[in-house]
Amino acid sequence: MKSRTGVVALLSACAVGALTFGLPLSTAAAPAPAMDQKALEAKLDAAIDPAELGRWLKDLASQPNHVGSAHDKANAEWMAAQFKSWGWDAKLETYDVLYPTPISESLELVGGAGAPFKATLTEKPIPGDEPTFTKDALPAYVAFQGDGDVTAPLVYANYGMPEDYLALEKMGVSVKGKIVIARYGGGWRGLKPLLAQMHGAVGAIIYSDPKDDGYATDEVYPKGPARPPQGFQRGSVADMPIYPGDVLTPGVGATKDAKRLDRKDAKTILKIPCLPIGYGDAQVLLSALEGPIAPANFRGSLPITYHVGGGDAAKVHLAVKSDWSMKTLYDVIANLKGSEAPNDWIVRGNHHDGWVMGASDPLSGMVAELGEAKALGQLVKSGWKPKRTIVYASWDGEEPSLLGSTEWAETHAEELKAKGVVYINSDGNGRGFFRAEGSHAFQHFVNEVSADVKDPETGVSVRDRARARLAVGMAEGGGRGGGENNSPQMKAAAQDPAKDIPIGALGSGSDYSTFLQHLGLPSIDFGYGGEGESGGVYHSLYDDYQHHSRFVDPGFVYDATLARTVGRAVIRLADADLPVQRYGDFADTVSTYLDEVKKLADTKRDEAKTQARLLSGNAFNLAADPTKTHVNPEPLAQSPTFDFKPLEAAVAKLKTSAGAFDAALASKGAGLSKAQKVKLDNVVRQLDQTMLRPEGLPGRPWYMNMVYAPGRFTGYGAKTLPGVREALEERRFDDARKYIGITAEALNAYAAELDKATAVVNGN
């Protein structure tokens, strides 16, 4: 679901020289594995056939696969049958969710240069690319927009993010009573109409600018991979940063007899109409705008002078009417029962619904998962007995709002909290570099796995290749993308092959969200990318087999590599004799988050002071061009000084406890008795649930994880220590104070559980 266009994310590592192949957790005095680990993983690799993944992909992506479509259901049924044929215990689990689809929609320029103009809202089929001739594709729409019929002047709001509204306000341009047009990019889609609505707009249009994924980036489809003028990006605009899943059943599974909200009370449904369009249509609307010249960072690559509007010159009529009926989700759930610890679950998932055919997103990841499942089935048939239970899921309805995974996780919450060890996710995949984000106690594990997977293009490990990219990116000033680029840990990893490469934190954008952020189940998201790009057809008619096989992953070799990566991780986790976690990595990472948050408090204080100085000196007015409208910014509340001591103490304690556990496990783990191991397993399995606090985050109690959350105003992007960080960012100073305490409580609870685990290892 999440677009990775322009995101340079990756991961890898471990001592090249010092690395002894195999799992530390299965070495030494632990019982010898039933089959040699290296041979087992070689069998896994051999059992995964890129060509077969390609054939599956072609079938699965042959027709539209949106929620409620016949083909999406058929795919679920076919996959369940496949799992069974591979020896898995598989079934479909169904949920009933509110899922709107448009009955009618219209977008017209009714005033201004170029009017009247009726937007085509149509993705033309591509001769020679058969599936694009389908009659069953969803039209141009974004799910959970609010129906409406409005006519109003247009305003261009760049990416439609909070800072863009500040820029508009500075120019004296209001969107109140207007229709906002914003381009894709810069933040999660759903925030664009939401922020427009919060600023008083009566409608919203989202378009794909050629600068971001169209002709400026590459030749357009079918000549190249980039977005053609008529291609538009569907997607969800449900307010998922409040809660994902069925809009009518927050916090509980959308089972037949679940208690449901009235639609009017579902606060994650947008209140204003919204449509997505391509840049062919957008150029006409944008050309009609007058008013201030768009600031440099607002300008895309259309051959026009971008204006922001603000007057009445360009007037638009926008109308959307939907069918707000219930639809059925089809989750595929398959198990391989554990031989020693059947109540320890390793859960792995990828979704199967797409906005149209969904070849790259999500089916490239889905066929990797199927490849793993078939291979694991073969290993079992050849004698392998995983110690823990392996649960493979193929989620439905991820695209509209992580529906299938959330409803399943909410339905099975108690069981997952009792049995879940880890959730491993993937989604759309492509050619290029290994990346992983996730719970930082698994950072070393992720590094070990990636050290043992071969990159199909270069023959080195995917970890070595990711490290090379990191090193070159840093040397060339490009970095790895993301805020953590230049952290000392990242620099060290770029230079020293003995160092683990830090992994990023999970925000949202795929099915791990509910597991990690609502249930406290540690999660990891794996993928490849950065060379084969599906960004240009993301969520469009053109994300199909031909596009994926020509431009995203020719030969399906990276889809197969994903299968080998995740399959390897699953095997190791299922068989691990001792915890694979290294809590020192988690503690160190949280410590850097605390440093960031403290720095943020200073920055916010300086910002308010500087602004007050500038306002009192009339500097904003003096620096402005008097021939243009200029509005001074709203005075910021001066920041108080915060007492970070409770959080500092908690992080210090966490580091101590984590260090003690890691040291104890390293020195005594191999000598533990069977009973001790079971006891240890029981503590460690539920450890991450201590990160949950029952009050949840301010204004969004569904999100209970005090370390990892998607940003309220970033949507996909992670916010770590979110209760404190976001409160500082948004100048909710009382919340910041309160969540310093709450977050400290969570970390203290985490450290206390770690101490219990250490006591087990130490035989106390």
Give start and end residues of each alpha helix (H) in 247-323: 279-287
List the one residue from 87, 224, 311, 342 that touches a copy of itself (CB under 8 A): 224
* Binding of residue 632 to a copy of itself (CB under 8 A): no
> Nearest distance from residue 536's CB to a copy of itself, in Å?
11
> Nearest distance from residue 102's CB to a copy of itself, in Å?
30
Using CA atoms, how far apart are residues 159 and 154, in angstroms rounded to an integer?
A: 15
* Binding of residue 92 to a copy of itself (CB under 8 A): no
List the one residue from 457, 648, 730, 745 that touches a copy of itself (CB under 8 A): 457
Using CA atoms, how far apart are residues 615 and 11, in angstroms rounded to an integer?
A: 45
**Residue matched to tokens 């992580």:** 402
Q: Are 357 and 75 in contact (CB under 8 A)?
A: no
| Residue placing its CB nearer to a copy of itself in the complex, 42 or 216 | 216
Which of 321, 316, 279 has its CA nearest to residue 107?
Answer: 316
Q: Are 61 and 74 in contact (CB under 8 A)?
A: no
> Nearest distance from residue 481's CB to a copy of itself, in Å?
13
Question: CA 527, 238, 323 angle in degrees (round to 5)?
Answer: 115
> Nearest distance from residue 437's CB to a copy of itself, in Å?
20
Task: Specify the stretch interacting with a copy of itself by CB under 8 A; choose among 130-138, 607-615, 651-659, 674-682.
Answer: 607-615
What phi and psi, each to the nearest 5 degrees, are found at residue 347? -105, 135
> Nearest distance from residue 641's CB to a copy of itself, in Å?
21
Using CA atoms, how far apart are residues 204 and 154, in angstroms rounded to an integer?
A: 9
* Binding of residue 610 to a copy of itself (CB under 8 A): yes
Which of 502, 456, 459 has its CA nearest to residue 482?
Answer: 502
Residue 236, sorted as left (phi over 0), alpha (psi -120 to 50) or beta, turns out to be beta
List the one residue from 120, 301, 676, 762 that touches a copy of itself (CB under 8 A): 301
* Binding of residue 713 to a copy of itself (CB under 8 A): no
Retrieve residue 214's tokens. Answer: 């169209």
In eight-state DSSP terms, residue 716 is T
How many residues line the site for a copy of itself (CB under 8 A)? 48
| Residue placing its CB nearer to a copy of itself in the complex, 198 or 475 | 475
* Binding of residue 619 to a copy of itself (CB under 8 A): yes
Question: How far does CA 358 lie from the centroid of its chain?
Answer: 17
| Residue placing its CB nearer to a copy of itself in the complex, 460 or 664 | 460
List the one residue from 625, 675, 694, 764 that touches a copy of itself (CB under 8 A): 625
Task: Specify the stretch interacting with a copy of itself by CB under 8 A; choose among 314-322, 357-365, 625-633, 708-716.
Answer: 625-633
> In 187-309, where do the E strands start and end?
203-207, 235-236, 274-277
> Nearest distance from residue 294's CB to a copy of itself, in Å?
9
> Nearest distance from residue 59's CB to a copy of itself, in Å?
27
| Residue placing its CB nearer to a copy of itself in the complex, 163 or 734 | 163
> Nearest distance from residue 181's CB to a copy of itself, in Å?
18
* Binding of residue 698 to a copy of itself (CB under 8 A): no
> In 75-191, where do the E strands start and end?
89-98, 101-111, 117-118, 142-143, 148-156, 179-183
Binding mask 191-220 for a copy of itself (x = CB under 8 A): -------------------x----xxxxxx
Label the pairing between strands 203-207 and 274-277: parallel
List the one residue from 302, 380, 574, 654 that touches a copy of itself (CB under 8 A): 302
> Nearest distance from residue 482's CB to a copy of itself, in Å?
17
| Residue placing its CB nearer to a copy of itself in the complex, 219 or 734 | 219
**Is 700 strand, coil or helix?**
strand
List the one residue from 257, 259, 488, 622 that touches a copy of itself (CB under 8 A): 622
* Binding of residue 221 to a copy of itself (CB under 8 A): no
| Residue placing its CB nearer to a copy of itself in the complex, 299 or 679 | 299
In eight-state DSSP terms, residue 751 is H
* Binding of residue 531 to a copy of itself (CB under 8 A): yes
Burial of 743 (0-12, 13-18, 19+ CB in 10 A): buried
List the one residue from 127, 303, 383, 694 that touches a copy of itself (CB under 8 A): 303
> Nearest distance from residue 29's CB to a copy of itself, in Å?
37
**Is 588 strand, coil or helix?**
helix
* DSSP per-residue string spanning 361-418: IIIHHHHHHHHHHHHHHHHHHTT---SEEEEEEEES-HHHHSHHHHHHHHHTHHHHHH
Q: Are 406 and 351 in contact (CB under 8 A)?
A: no
Using CA atoms, how far apart are residues 323 and 55, in angstroms rounded to an integer?
A: 35
Residue 87, sorted as left (phi over 0), alpha (psi -120 to 50) or beta, turns out to be left
List the one residue from 172, 617, 671, 699 that touches a copy of itself (CB under 8 A): 617
Site for a copy of itself in 415-434 (CB under 8 A): 432
Q: Tell me: cis bond preceding 362? Omega within 30 of 0 counts.
A: yes
Binding mask 459-498 for a copy of itself (x = CB under 8 A): -x---xx-xxx-xxx-x-------------------x-x-
Site for a copy of itself in 431-450 (CB under 8 A): 432
CB burial string 494-513: b at 16+ within 10 A, e below: beebebbbbbbbbbbbbbbb
**Residue matched to tokens 């035989």:** 763
Using CA atoms, how far apart are residues 60 and 545, in angstroms rounded to an integer?
A: 9
**Residue matched to tokens 């509910």:** 514
* Binding of residue 626 to a copy of itself (CB under 8 A): yes
The CB density around residue 492, as the number of other CB atoms within 10 Å, is 14
**Residue matched to tokens 């840990």:** 489
List the one residue from 251, 613, 699, 752 that touches a copy of itself (CB under 8 A): 613
**Is 283 strand, coil or helix?**
helix
> Nearest distance from residue 550's CB to a copy of itself, in Å?
12
* Binding of residue 19 to a copy of itself (CB under 8 A): no
What's the maximum distance between 2 C-alpha atoms anywhere in the chain?
80
| Residue placing its CB nearer to a copy of itself in the complex, 223 or 264 | 223
| Residue placing its CB nearer to a copy of itself in the complex, 99 or 215 | 215
Which of 69, 21, 99 has its CA nearest to residue 452?
Answer: 21
| Residue placing its CB nearer to a copy of itself in the complex, 258 or 468 | 468
| Residue placing its CB nearer to a copy of itself in the complex, 172 or 763 | 172
* Binding of residue 113 to a copy of itself (CB under 8 A): no
| Residue placing its CB nearer to a copy of itself in the complex, 623 or 675 | 623
Residues 6+ apart with CB under 8 A from 485: 474, 479
* Binding of residue 313 to a copy of itself (CB under 8 A): no
| Residue placing its CB nearer to a copy of itself in the complex, 632 or 682 | 632
* Binding of residue 752 to a copy of itself (CB under 8 A): no
* Binding of residue 620 to a copy of itself (CB under 8 A): yes
| Residue placing its CB nearer to a copy of itself in the complex, 471 or 759 | 471
**Is 332 strand, coil or helix?**
strand
Question: In what order do the strands lie in the sheet containing 420-425?
Answer: 89-98, 326-336, 388-395, 341-351, 420-425, 523-530, 432-438
Provide the binding-site residues for a copy of itself, judged by CB under 8 A.
210, 215-220, 224, 226, 293, 299, 301-306, 432, 457-458, 460, 464-465, 467-469, 471-473, 475, 495, 497, 531, 607, 610-611, 613-614, 617-623, 625-627
